[in-house]
A and B are shown apart, each in its own frame.
Chain A
Amino acid sequence: MIQLIDELKVIPGVVGACIVNFQDGLKVTNLPAIFKPERLLVVGKHLLELYSAGRASFSDLTDITLNYDESVIVARELEKGSLVFVICDPTFNHNLMTMSLNLLQEEYKLGNFATAESPVGTPAQPQADVTGEIQDLLEEMKGALSKILGPMAGFVFDEVAEEWIEQGASGFSRIEVLIDLLNQEISDQDKINSYRQLISPALKAFQKG
């Protein structure tokens, strides 16, 4: 059995790929571990929605390409409710990608597709024990961090927040612990001060209830 998405990864500029089914969730991925399964599933479901919207306008739709500053996402529906998406450097060869996706789609329809030997588990809910109110605050803090650290802020924040949750109660009483952990990641005093300024209004608003 062939790991078809591994063949996509051979294309220069391809970071990795992922197949998502709307019902079954994340089927397989060879993206680096920094792309967590629960995030890939959400991205995949957004792409399925996008594909569905595109198909409603264009009956001959083949792929969708989302060009971001850092990377490009190419998505192709394999069959109804299933979609493969590939994350690439902006310099990737689009023609080569299209050919490879055509091949993958054919093989998928023929059933010549094996899922990973280690199936992707049910996405974890890392912040399941975080209450709704503090979750909103965390989202605001995450958004503010992106203004300090740029595109990697989302990854950094989630990693730190997970560590913070594992250490103890995820309530406001320990919010300074979280900020300290984030400050260690920022590791620049000017940026630490800027981050404090950015999140202060949210912290005050939360305290006031």
Chain B
Amino acid sequence: MADAKVFVERIKQMEGVSGCLLIKDDGALLGRALDDAETYTSLMLTTAGLAENIMDKVGFSYCRYVSFNRTNNQTFYIFPIDHYLLGLVQKADCSVADMLDRVYQLIGRVSTDGTRTVS
């Protein structure tokens, strides 16, 4: 994958993103741009496992993301990217659709096998 810290920094700089972190699917923290990253790690791992179980049970093919919607509008998103998980905190006053589009564009440009990199 493109250098994790560069990737995290790019995500963090996006309009609408308050903070983010990237972990491996074994829980290893690869990059962070928010406080208390450790508190999010277990939630991300639990979520990834349960979302996959639900996917298998219902017959869906791919989980794009899971979001935890909050009354303060700082939604927390988890994006599975191959063997990695990107966690992202949304700014309360952003355009969600635009923010998600920007994140997807960047996710689509990175690879976990080294064939593409953030440019």
Contact = CB atoms under 8 A, between A and B. Distances in A.
Contact-residue size bin, chain B (C-beta under 8 Å from the other chain) = 20 to 34
Contact of A153 (B47, B59, B66): B59
Main secondary structure of the interface of A (DSSP, over half): helix
Contacts of A71: 58, 60
Contacts, number: 96
A73 interface: yes
A170 B99 CA distance: 51
Interface residues of A, number: 35
Nearest to B56: A154
A135 interface: no
A154 B66 contact: no
A154 B72 contact: no
A83 B72 CA distance: 21
A67 to B, nearest CB: 4
Given A62-B71, A67-B67, A54 B43 contact: yes
A69 interface: yes
Contacts of B71: 60, 62
B13 interface: no
Interface string B42-71: 110011001101111111111111111111
A68 B55 contact: yes
A125 interface: no
Interface in B56-90: 56-72, 76
A57 B39 contact: yes
Interface stretch (A19-27, A39-47, A106-114, A200-208): A39-47
A56 to B, nearest CB: 8
B62 A43 contact: no
A49 interface: yes
Given A49-B50, A50-B46, A60-B71, A66 B56 contact: no
A155 interface: yes
A66 B54 contact: yes
B57 A69 contact: no
B51 A43 contact: no
B46 A67 contact: no
6 contacts: A42-B53, A50-B51, A54-B68, A61-B68, A154-B58, A154-B59
Interface of A: 35, 39, 42-43, 46-47, 49-50, 53-54, 56-58, 60-71, 73, 87, 98, 146, 150-155
